[in-house]
Structure 1
Amino acid sequence: MAKEFHNDDVVLDIKDKPKALPWLGLSIQHLFTMFGATVLVPILVGIDPGIALVSSGLGTLVYLTVTKGKIPAYLGSSFAFIAAMKLLMSTDGYPAIAQGAITTGLVYLIVSLVVKKIGSAWMDKILPPIVVGPVIMVIGLGLAANAANNAMFNDGQYDYKFLLVALVTMGITIFFNMFLKGFLGLIPILLGIIAGYLFALLMGIVDTQPIIDAAWFALPNFEIPFVNYEPKFYLSAIITMAPIAFVTMTEHIGHLMVLNKLTKRNFFQDPGLNRTLLGDGLAQIVAGLVGGPPVTSYGENIGVLAITRVHSVFVIGGAAVLAVILGFVGKLSALILSIPNPVISGISFILFGVIAASGLKILIENKIDFDKKKNLLIASVILVIGIGGLYVEAGTFTLSAMALATVLGIALNLILPETSRSEKA
């Protein structure tokens, strides 16, 4: 029996289990990183944020189980479904959203069965380094403008306090990452968030009243079929949300490409794309059954993996368990929810940049020749469309900029000849 690969270049590899205290700190770091985005989605839609925390934790545990504990990915609330969910909430209420979430999960399961039947060897052909590298850069830089805006604007007005908090948070986090060692050197993101939060308190931009008002124990408003509502067939929910599953699948594959690079593995082969899609799909079904929004893997948490070089699935699993617990602790939820946007932005400048740099590293390591017009054109289209934010919208269906950039990059790679006529001359 062949010895299982172990990446000795990282602090903790995928199957390495940390000691108790470091384990807790590392898991809290991932929890803080995903919290803001995970609770923002239900807030925008009108769902209880506590349910989103519980569903993200349960979904992540399901994903880790299905993928045999081989992929260190955290699943949080998906932004891709916001427009569709808001529309369904205004017409039919949460039961329709739940049915849509379960349907998207079923779409993943069907595609998973197809992939299991035909294999994933085709991935190497449609996703060569010249496509993968720029797509990963788009994943990192696609939300750069949002991070910058959240660091500058307070209710639409330019705010120097916000900017200062964001830059101080970023600077402190960089300092922690470069100069701390031992256990503290493993949690620079968590320490950066804490330091940024304390500085934001000094600057007077943190609202602590919700923390004071929150109860210690708060049962989330679960929406469970046959318990909280009688389910019925919503054709509009299926038509509205099912197609978006193919958009999030693109993000799913993109995040796997980043993780492949970080961990020096090929998750398309082991545990297999069919298992990763199955895990994601089942996680979405679980979210729909308890009352949460659909979930997807988070680039922010991948950024934490890259910076800390701690890839342990035990740390990810710990964050998932903490998220479930946190869904019932009102004051802790309120505390994390009170972290102001510029603090998150200061951290995001680093996390998103690290992901983008991973894409650039792929291009360098594969010695991509940009004197070849084909390579130059593919990278140009992916980067400008993906980072520029060009998207396709048809009714409630939206093909995100990242998904559109990926689709066009794949198409150009398959269609364009290796050498242009001018290069042949």
Structure 2
Amino acid sequence: MKNQDNFRNPDAVLDVYEKPGPSQGILLSLQHLFAMFGSTVLVPILVGISPSIALLSSGVGTLVHMLLTKFKIPAYLGSSFAFVATMQALMRQDGYPAIAQGAIAAGLVYVVVALVVARIGSAWVDEVLPPIVVGPVIIVIGLSLATTAANDAMMNHTKYDLKFFGIAIFTLAVTLFFQMFFKGFTSLVSILLGIVCGYILSCFLGVVDFGPVAKAAWFTWPALDVPVVSYKLKFYPAAILTMAPIAFVTMSEHMGHIMVLNSLTKRDFFKNPGLHRTLMGDGLSTVIAGFIGGPPTTSYGENIGVLAMTKVHSVWVLAGAAVFAIIFSFVGKIAALIDSIPMPVIGGISFLLFGTIASSGLKILVDNKIDFGEKRNMLIASVILVIGIGGAYLQLGSFQLTSVALCTIMGMLLNWILPAHAASEIAHQEEMTKKENN
């Protein structure tokens, strides 16, 4: 890893600080917006929150995160899936005010942890998260989303639809075609072009529903649901105690995503601008989302996949995507048009994006020359991969430790507990030493 202030990544087309031209920047930013759109609006839809609010909180949260990290990290923040089940239960019981207080509490947990990290430093990260843990965890982050991509590509509601799968494969094929056989800017926006071509095919096949687009107003004011203003100040301790601990789960995912960005950009964001700043930015983003009525936010794997594919790591591009998200939250027609992108189109793109994230984990193992002939490495990687990809989770009442967080914790524990060499290897070494002495 390099000091990002004095280093340009030779593998990047546009490095972190580099600014694209206006027309190029607009298309690159829209590409990021479309990549994260499906997941970001799906969370509020599942919970019963306005999708336009999710877009607004996503855009504002991303800019806040960039401001706190001194515009050094190309990260985009979208709606977090980790809180969905809890938010659904709270919505049925007490409505959004309870969710808002829970979201704010979760964000404040980030803030407290960030202050602790700022005090004691982040040198411990290299010790608890060595390459043998980081590589498999990043593979899990990509492959744990594989089922989501496959379902988006195949399923029309709850039934398999061959037409949907055809659209997904067509979208994937077009994206690969533009990526492999074109150079320059066309290759950079291959994901956007794939989405556009998939959307056009979906129109011809009658999959796109233009009804909501026709009904949508050109200008809409997001239904801001500010609990401090809209509701009597009622305290919801159960909501706070339920949602706040989930912050520790999303912190694990947050650090996993930072690891991927470190690998892609050849930098160490844990040191510069510092883990405390990335945590503080994520926490304040979630606090703001709670106040304006959106779901908690977190860094997004979809956007990291775009960074990995295009090798465009510019913070200007990510900031542009955030600005567009804010604008589109007020433009009803555009928001509805983006919302009309069929899920098989998103699924086809996700085949590539999520796989690229997993491949980044493999690259870490290769670059660090991890020896799987060593029993310790094989055991750590095996446990991480099966727990993470298998979807194992820990449920304690209403608190759930997701598979990504659980496999990360298991990997850290095994790295700490297992000896540097297995007993059989030690015995073999001792036997060889005796033979040599004799």
Does the 8 Å contact 2:228/2:291 carry over to 1?
no
- For 1:270, the aligned partner's letter is N
Q: Which runs of 5+ in 2 are unaligned?
A: 428-438
Residue in 2 aligned with 1:395?
397
Distance in 1 (CA, whole Å) between partners of 2:160 and 2:80 is 28
TM-score by length of 1: 0.98
Matches for 1:217-236 after TM superposition, within 5 Å: 217-236=219-238
- Tell me the CA shift for residue 183 of structure 1: 2.0
8 Å Cα contact 1:223/1:229 also seen in 2: no
Is 1:214 aligned with 2:194? no
Residue 140 of structure 2 corresponds to 138
- Deviation above 3 Å: which 4+ runs of structure 1? none
Match for 2:76 among 74, 77, 80? 74
Determine the C-alpha separation between the residues in 2 that align with 1:215 and 1:208.
Answer: 13
Aligned-partner SS, 1:227: helix
Per the TM alignment, residue 189 of structure 1 is displaced from its structure 2 partner at its CA by 0.7
Give the number of aligned pairs: 425
1:237-386 map, 5 Å:
237-386=239-388
Q: Which among 15, 18, 21 is matched to residue 19 of structure 1?
A: 21
- 2:124 matched to which residue of 1? 122
Give the aligned partner of residue 408 of structure 2: 406
Name the aligned partner's letter for residue 247 of structure 2. Answer: A
Q: 1:220 is matched by which residue type in structure 2?
A: P
Report deviation, 1:232: 2.2
Look up the equivalent residue of 2:208 and give its one-letter code: V
| Letter aligned with residue 207 of structure 2 | I
Alpha-carbon offset, residue 155 of structure 1: 2.1
* Aligned mates of 1:217, 1:268 — CA distance in 2: 41
What residue is the counterpart of 1:99 in the other structure?
A: 101
Taking the aligned partners of 1:103 and 1:407, their CA distance within structure 2 comes to 23
Residue 230 of structure 1 and its aligned partner are, at CA, apart by 2.7
Q: What root-mean-square deviation, in Å, do the aligned CA atoms of Structure 1 and Structure 2 show?
A: 1.3
* C-alpha deviation, 1:395, in angstroms: 2.3
**CA apart distance, 1:175:** 0.5
Alignment of 1:87 with 2:89, yes or no, is yes
Is structure 2 residue 56 aligned with structure 1 residue 62?
Answer: no
Q: CA deviation at 1:3?
A: 6.3
2:193 aligns with: 191
Between stretches 328-337 and 131-140, larger displacement belongs to 328-337
Distance 1:59 1:131 in 2: 29
Gaps of 5+ in 1: none
The 2-side partners of 1:239 and 1:253 are apart by 23
Following TM superposition, by how much is the alpha carbon of 1:145 offset from its aligned partner in structure 2, in angstroms? 1.3
Q: Tell me, yes or no, if the aligned pair for 2:19 and 2:314 is still in contact at 8 Å.
A: yes
CA distance in 2, matches of 1:326, 1:155: 26
User: Which amino acid in structure 2 is aligned with residue 246 of structure 1?
Assistant: F
Q: CA deviation at 1:412?
A: 0.5
1:5 aligned onto 2:3: no
CA separation in 1, counterparts of 2:164 and 2:104? 39
Equivalent residue for 2:434? Answer: none
CA drift of 1:2 comes to 11
The residue type paired with residue 161 of structure 2 is D
Match of 1:205 in 2: 207
Deviations 1:223-250 (A, max 9, x none): 1234322332110111110000000000
Write out per-residue CA displacement over residues 343-370 of structure 1, whole angstroms, 9 at most, x where no aligned residue: 1010000000111000001111111111
Shift of 1:95: 1.0
Letter in 2 for 1:123: V
Give CA-to-partner distance per residue, 1:367-414, whole Å, 9 cap, x none.
Answer: 111111110011001111101111111222111001101000110010
Kept after mapping to 1: 8 A contact 2:4/2:272: no
Counterpart CA distance in 1 for 2:123 and 2:367 is 22
Return 29-38 or 226-235, whichever deviates more.
226-235
